[in-house]
Chain A
Amino acid sequence: MNIVVVGLSHKTASVDIREKVAFAPNHMDKPLRELVALPDLTEAVIVSTCNRVEIYATTHDVAGGMARLKRFLADYHAISLETLEPHLYSHHGEAAIRHVFRVASSLDSMVVGEPQILGQIKTAYGYAAEFRSSGIILNRFLHKAFSVAKRVRTETRIASSAVSVSFAAVELAKKIFGDLTDKTVMLIGAGEMCELAAKHFLNSGVRGVMVTNRTYERAVRLAEEFGGRPVNFEDFIDQLHKADIILSSTGATHFIIGHKDVEEVIRRRKLKPMFFIDIAVPRDIDPKVNDVENVYLYDMDDLQGVVATNLEQRGKEAEKAEQIIDQEIGQFFKWLSSLEVTPTIVALRSRFEEIRRAELEKTLAGWKELSPDAQKRLEACTAAIVNKLLHPPTSLLKKTGQGGRTDLYVDALRQLFELQTEATEEEELGELEE
């Protein structure tokens, strides 16, 4: 039994392709049932996120199975296979296992280490379990992937640092203030980035939000959105002392907060620390503000610098993660290959037995004068020959089943003795390629 993966991700396909092949989360039963109804495919899981669409499946027939999965992706979404094919990747065997372990551990993510992907795969597995499209192999496989991801998370620091500017700002605030729950954020101006950062701060539990804007109506509207309080732009400096964290992104061409302003504000606050985040370009806050005691000012460049350092650190941690995955692949592969051993031995035995029977019958048919006793002896003799011939490969397989590269032997035996009907596989391949 082989594990195969067919899919596309942000690395191989642009968003306009990805959205075409995405599966709607509420209707997973249909594609999953169709998948397992395909010939030769026994189990299937569909992972569909905004960055990747992948099918994990098990099959006896690697090439045919992968071809069928590709065709399925195209047909199901009514796209021609020619358009889709260049964006698809497919893996089988060890490469497939490595791929899924890496995806689950967030090593293949757009932002390496981002935590969502594991949850998304768990959801995907949930659907497969619900609609019974996953069985013994994929169940075990995905649980292994989850535990590998967990190991990567706890043993490396891959996800411990912020890699977006707005998260970096929240992390910095936590290093200054510790707990954010009794802190107040003031938003000066508006803009996507500013609002995103404000949302992150709210999620981290800040107590209050103040919003100011040159257009007061806009301030009122934003304040409503964040459950905060609007402040007149004319006297926001007078209110500054009430804020611990200040997020500024106005379109002003000169500094709107100066060194002197902050010195006065900090005195009013009895030196309680303040954190200024200036994400405006050109800048809103005089850089000298950073020199005021207990005041910390980070502008866009500083934050991006923090993010770059964190990313570099993640790169180092990712190497450790790859090592963990290497170890785990070995373990899982042993288990998977052990599943192969028994059916291969059975197939090998029945193949030999079949030949023996056929030849024996042919011989006996033209040898009527042989006594029943001699016939029995002949029977026993041929059986002994077959047993003696099969003994070494059988015991070797059983031994390697406990470790080592069983797959190589299994594969060799299957090809040498034509244990699987290779003909149909090639036929189907030819058919699909037409």
Chain B
Amino acid sequence: MNALLFYITLGLYSVATVAYLAYLLKPRPILGRAAHWLISSGFLIHAGFTVVRYVEAGHTPITNLHESLSFFSLAIVGVFIAFERKYHVFILGPFVTPLALLLMIGSSLYPSAIPLLPPALMSNWLFVHSSLAFVSYATFAVAFGAAIMYLIQEHFLKRKRLGSLYQKLPSLDVLDEINYRCLTFGFPLLTVAIITGAIWAETAWGTYWSWDPKETWSLITWFIYAALLHGRLTTGWRGRKAAILAIIGFCILLFTFLGVNLLPSESQHSYQRLLGGM
């Protein structure tokens, strides 16, 4: 039953992504609406899948790569739908939904067995800490999509090549605004996620901060976004600079999320470790 929900979600995300890419080629409003409808129904089913999984496992389903990738994808789609509704830009879809789809495909490649969580980690902090972290990641993912669009559109305007993609992309101002909104929304969430993580670490492992690779890289990510927000508010890092930093920030974030697992040193956040010393 749960696997069925997962594959329905995967299917809906695939069709929605195709619809969004088609919308990029032929911006007919009906295609945009269809894509929006598809991704929204995919989101609801995905949310359903996640709740069922939560009930089955008895804890927030983000304890292995299968669950985490799926949860990240869910958060991205949710934040994306919110932004699409707010700014009425279907054209954001082709730049964000492929990422959500890739994460879902990645998730499907990992075993879906429900892992046994060490008792030390069974706590409400798991839900608070990780869902905050993932929602903040998702807003940065949307900022990443908008930043790529910004750089493309800026390139067209600077080089004076005003083809059909130029016509379809929104104005630089709207793209920069999305970047800013994502930042002001995502940064506080990331901050709280790190703080709650530290508190949870204190209750579970007896220390607030142990400089494990995940923590270090999270801190680096946090500093990047802090610098961007600071630059924006004081010296006006907007437009191109903000877009580039949003892209760099997201790449480091992805490394924090996935790459840390590949580092030789053992991390307490690694999903293998989470599985209780596999």
Residues on A lying within 8 angstroms of B by beta carbon are: 160-161, 172, 174-179, 269-273, 290, 293-294, 296, 298, 302, 305-306, 309
Distance (Å) between the CB of A7 and the closest chain B CB?
A: 35
Which B residues are CB-close (under 8 A) to A177? 171-173
Binary contact readout B155-189 vs A (1 if CB under 8 angstroms, 0 otherwise): 00110101100110011111001000000000000
Q: When A161-B167, A306-B160, A309-B162 are in contact, do A294 and B174 touch as well, CB less than 8 Å?
A: no
Question: Are A271 and B173 in contact (CB-based, < 8 A)?
Answer: no
Within the complex, the shortest CB–CB distance from A398 to chain B, in Å, comes to 41
Using CB atoms, name the residue of chain A closest to B157. A296
Question: Does the CB pair A176–B157 fall under 8 Å?
Answer: yes
14 A-B pairs with C-beta separation under 8 A: A175-B166, A175-B172, A177-B171, A270-B236, A270-B238, A271-B236, A272-B236, A272-B238, A290-B158, A293-B239, A294-B238, A294-B240, A296-B157, A306-B160
Counted as pairs of residues, one from A and one from B, with CB atoms less than 8 Å apart, the total is 55
Known: A172-B157, A177-B173. A306 touches B237 (CB 8 A): no
Q: Considering only CB atoms, which chain A residue lies closest to B163 in the complex?
A: A309
Contact B157 A269 (CB under 8 A): no
By the criterion CB–CB under 8 Å, are A273 and B172 in contact? yes
Asked if residues A305 and B160 are in contact (CB atoms below 8 Å), the reply is: yes
Which residue of the partner chain, among A174, A176, A302, contacts B160 with CB atoms under 8 Å?
A302
CB neighbours (8 Å) of A160 from chain B are 167
Residues of B within 8 A of A175 (CB): 153, 157, 166, 171-172
Counting CB contacts under 8 A, is B124 at the interface? no
A293–B157 Cα distance when bound, in Å, is: 12
Residues of B within 8 A of A306 (CB): 160, 162
Residue B235 contacts which of A161, A270, A305 (CB distance < 8 angstroms)?
Answer: A270
Chain B positions within 8 Å of A176 at CB level: 157, 171-173
Whether, in the assembled complex, B241 has its beta carbon less than 8 Å from a beta carbon of chain A, the answer is yes
Nearest residue (CB) in A for B176 is: A273
Interfacial chain A residues near B167, Cβ < 8 Å: 160-161
- In the complex, which of the residues A161, A172, A179 contacts B173, with contact meaning CB atoms closer than 8 Å? A179
Known contacts A174-B171, A272-B236, A305-B160; 4 additional CB pairs below 8 A are: A175-B166, A175-B171, A177-B171, A177-B172
What are the 3 A-B residue pairs with the smallest beta carbon separation, nearest first?
A270-B236, A178-B173, A178-B171
Contact: B238 with A271, CB < 8 Å?
yes
Q: Which of B163, B171, B240 has the most CB of A within 10 A?
A: B171
Instruction: Please indicate the chain A residues that have their CB under 8 angstroms from the CB of B177 in the complex.
Output: 178
The distance in angstroms between the C-alpha atoms of A272 and B237, with both chains bound, is 9
Considering the complex, give the chain A residue whose CB is closest to the CB of B166: A175
A298, B160: Cβ atoms closer than 8 Å: yes
Closest to A172 in B: B157
Find out whether the CB atom of A293 lies under 8 angstroms from the CB atom of B236: no
Q: Would B162 and A178 count as touching, CB distance under 8 A?
A: no
Most interface-central of B160, B166, B236, B240 (chain A CB within 10 A): B160
Alpha-carbon distance between A306 and B162 when the two chains are bound, in angstroms: 7
- Tell me the minimal C-beta distance from B25 to chain A in angstroms: 14
Measured CB to CB, the closest approach of chain B to A175, in angstroms, equals 5
For A293, the chain B residues whose CB sits under 8 A away are 239-241
* CB-based nearest A residue for B172: A176
Q: Which residues of A contact B153 (CB under 8 A)?
A: 175
Q: How far is the CB of B212 from chain A (nearest CB, A)?
A: 38
Give the residues in chain A near B238, CB-CB below 8 Å: 270-273, 294
B239–A294 touching, CB < 8 Å:
yes
A296 CA / B240 CA spacing, docked (Å): 12
CB distance from A181 to the nearest CB of B (A): 12
For the complex, what is the distance from the CA of A290 to the CA of B170, rounded to whole Å? 21
Chain B residue at minimal CB-CB distance from A176: B172
- The CA of A174 and the CA of B167, in the complex, are separated in Å by 11
CB pair B239–A271 under 8 Å, yes or no, is yes
Question: Please, how many angstroms separate the alpha-carbon atoms of A77 and B237 in the complex?
Answer: 66
Q: How far is the CB of A80 from chain B (nearest CB, A)?
A: 50
Nearest CB of chain A from residue B168's CB, rounded to whole Å: 11
Contact code string B224-252 (vs A, CB < 8 Å = 1, else 0): 00000000000111111100000000000
